[in-house]
Amino acid sequence: MARAVVTLPATARRGEIIEIKTLAQHAMETGFRRTQIGELIPRDIIRTFRCAYNGVEVYRCDLHPAIAANPLIAFTTVATESGTLSFQWVGDNGYAVTEIAPIRVE
Amino acid sequence: MTTRREFLVLATALAVPAAAKAQLDPNLAANRKAAFQAAFKRIVGDSPVRPGRVKLTLPPLIDNGNSVPLSVSVASPMTEADHVKAIHVLTEKNPLPDVVSVHLGPRAGRASLSTRVRLADTQTVTAIAQMSDGSFWSDGAEVVVTLSACLEEGLI
Amino acid sequence: MSARLLLLAACFVFTRTLAGEIPLEQRRSGYDLMSRETQKMQDDDATNPGTLWLLDGEALWKRKAGAAGAACADCHGDARASMKGVAARYPAFDAARGRPVNLEQRINSCRTDRQKAPPLAWESKDLLALTAYVARQSRGLPINPAIDDRTKPFLEAGREAFHRRQGQLNLACAMCHDDNWGKHLAGSVIPQAHPTGYPIYRLEWQGLGSLERRLRGCLTGIRAQVPEFGSDEFVDLELYLMWRARGMKIETPGVRP
């Protein structure tokens, strides 16, 4: 099942700043909502998002309940070399999703 | 829609959980402002925070506080010698002050983040940038929220 | 001569003050009444949360299911070709049932009759994903349900429901969506209520939902009796709404506040 979607260019010139857009499917339950009979629904959110470029972390976000459901995280990175970009989302209750995308840098 | 019975159950259920009590707190506004200030101090410590270099973009009037597009960018050469180390976004009226913290460096190319956030009330949102030279810069954006997140139910 | 002129004038005044359908050229999708930011969220597949459901739908399309061990793709091939234009003409007449069915019902018919699999539950993640995936193949195409001798009675039933006052608040759909669209109701802009983007990602739901879910929300709001998912009353109303939106483009997956 689609847990996350990553959009970025497949190729780039060396030194070019590329835009990356990511979407993760997650309810981001705040921990402030209640059921119809008043029970508190426990917090269940994505806590961290990491982007690594050929294994080196280049961008990291700490997320809190104020991030909307199905979070969009859009950012940039410098296309330094060809290789693999990996994207990792880690959250409550053992939530862990990884997406990888190749990049060719000329 | 809550029935009378559900309301009574809700009222008695609120006797215990602290987070729930916090929502009925008569000093809600003051406590949230204090939480915001504590979070702010936790990030910057005693350093001065200058307005500028940071650009926080939010729509001034919001359809629905459950999903508000937010963009923050910081003017910086993003070199080894001079770059943005972190960007923090805080609110003063949400149940929790922290929204998101970004940790980055020269490899980001540009110091920026676009995301979607939840806003619980008409308020000022603050973005703080932490530079490699230890300085702090900030920007604020005022937003009017007609339908609050976290506090209003969209169960239908 | 003067009596005829008077009658003509009276007719003109009468039709002007009568609650009427929105003239075709004045119809606007809910998209046009949204903020620029929400529009941008819908326009870009990379930022539209509905994309996540589309990917699920694509996977389900290819997955073998049921006692027949058949996938949608086994009969229908590439959805991009075979499903093009389908959602734009639903609800469509189903000869076996002798009445129109909506897209979700059609998908479930295939599940039970052809795949020999249990039907997907209403508003379940899988049914939403498949419906969104099929409807997405009609994106950009004009809405065009077939109205003929077979479907006309159901269209009229839907039209009657749209104009009927109901619920404790005694409101008819037309009173807000034909007569007062564009004005504000408790901070939200009243749309014309055209089903151009369904299933939609609604910001208030923080998730994807069907047209029936939205209709149920409205009916709950006016404190009216809420029909069951897939009931005849709903499908008749959906047929009317799609006919009312004829010619407007499908936007699935739409994003709405």
B27 vs B94, which has greater pLDDT? B94
Contact of B151 with chain C, judged by CB distance below 8 Å, is answered with: no
Residue in C49, C59, C206 nearest the CB of A23: C49
The pLDDT score that the predictor gives to residue C204 is 87
| Lowest mean pLDDT, pick from A31-40, A44-53, B144-153, C10-19 | C10-19
- B4-145: CATH topology is Immunoglobulin-like (2.60.40)
CB-based contact A61 B101, cutoff 8 Å: yes
Domain C29-257 grouped into CATH 1.10.760.10: yes
User: pLDDT tens digit string along C115-174?
Assistant: 999 999 999 999 999 999 999 999 999 999 999 999 999 999 999 999 999 999 999 999
The pLDDT score that the predictor gives to residue C7 is 53
CB-based contact B156 C203, cutoff 8 Å: no
Q: Which subunits sit against B, judged by 3+ Cβ pairs under 8 A? A: A, C
Which one from C11, C75, C173, C218 is the annotated catalytic residue? C218
Residue B127: φ, ψ to 5°: -120, 135
Q: What is the 3-state secondary structure (H, E, C) of chain A?
A: CCCEEEECCCEECCCCEEEEEEEECCCCECCCCECCCCCECCCECEEEEEEEECCEEEEEEEECCCECCCCEEEEEEECCCCEEEEEEEEECCCCEEEEEEEEEEC
Strand, coil or helix: C230: coil
CA distance B78 to C202: 38
In order of start, what are the domains of chain A with their CATH numbers? 4-105 (2.60.40.10)
Work out the average pLDDT over B73-87: 97
| Closest chain B residue to the Cα of C40, Cα to Cα | B69
Q: Taking the model in full, what pTM does it have? A: 0.88
Contact C129, C54 (CB under 8 A): yes
Residue in B99, B108, B153 nearest the CB of A75: B108
Work out the average pLDDT over B76-104: 96
- Could you tell me which of B11, B34, B35 has the C-alpha nearest to residue B24? B11
Q: Which subunits sit against C, judged by 3+ Cβ pairs under 8 A? A: A, B
Give the residue carrying structure tokens 């963009």. B71
C218 belongs to the catalytic site: yes
What the block records as the tokens of C251 is 């936007």
Work out the average pLDDT over C209-219: 95
A63 Cβ partners below 8 Å, 6+ apart? A28, A45, A46, A47, A48, A49, A71, A91, B100
CA distances from B100 to B42, B149, C100 (A): 14, 16, 49
Contact C197, C211 (CB under 8 A): no
Window 19-48 of B: residues touching C by CB (8 A cutoff) are none
- pLDDT for C236 beyond 50: yes
Residues of B with CB under 8 A from a CB of A: 2, 6, 9-11, 13-14, 17, 19-20, 23, 66-68, 91, 94-96, 98-110, 112-119, 149-151, 153, 155
| Closest chain C residue to the Cα of B150, Cα to Cα | C204
CA distance C122 to C216: 13
Domains of chain C, residue spans: 29-257
What the block records as the tokens of C16 is 């002007």
Give me the DSSP letters along B12-65: HHTTS-HHHHHHT-TTHHHHHHHHHHHHHHHHHTTS-EEE-SEEEE--SEES-T
Band of residue A36 on the pLDDT scale cut at 50, 70, 90: confident
B23 vs A105, which has greater pLDDT? A105
The pLDDT score that the predictor gives to residue C18 is 40
Residues of A with CB under 8 A from a CB of B: 17-18, 21, 30-34, 36-40, 53, 56, 58-69, 71-78, 80
The pLDDT score that the predictor gives to residue C125 is 96
What the block records as the tokens of A10 is 């497949």
User: pLDDT tens digit string along C48-74?
Assistant: 999 999 999 999 999 999 999 999 999
Please state, rounded to an integer, the average pLDDT across all residues of chain C: 92
CB-based contact C203 B63, cutoff 8 Å: yes
The pLDDT score that the predictor gives to residue C15 is 35
Percent of chain C beyond pLDDT 90? 86
- pLDDT for B147 beyond 80: no
Residues of B in contact with C169 (CB under 8 A): none
Please state, rounded to an integer, the average pLDDT across all residues of chain A: 95
From the CA of A87, how many Å to the nearest CA of chain C? 15
Work out the average pLDDT over C93-104: 97
Size of interface A-C (CB pairs under 8 A): 39
Residue in B61, B66, B69 nearest the CB of C206: B66
CA distance B89 to B93: 13
Domains of chain B, residue spans: 4-145
Beta strands B136-145 and B61-62, pairing class: parallel
Residues of B in contact with A71 (CB under 8 A): 115-116
The pLDDT score that the predictor gives to residue C188 is 83
First to last CA, chain B: 9
CB-based contact C203 B67, cutoff 8 Å: yes
Whether ipTM tops 0.90, in short, is yes
**How many alpha carbons fall within 13 Å on the CB side of residue A22?**
26
Work out the average pLDDT over A84-93: 98
Cβ atoms within 10 Å of B68's Cβ, excluding its own:
24
User: pLDDT tens digit string along C171-204?
Assistant: 999 999 999 999 998 778 999 999 999 999 999 8
Residue A37: φ, ψ to 5°: -110, 20
C126 Cβ partners below 8 Å, 6+ apart? C56, C60, C120
Give the helix/strand (H/E) hosting C107: helix C103-109
The pLDDT score that the predictor gives to residue C142 is 98
From the CA of C35, how many Å to the nearest CA of chain B? 7
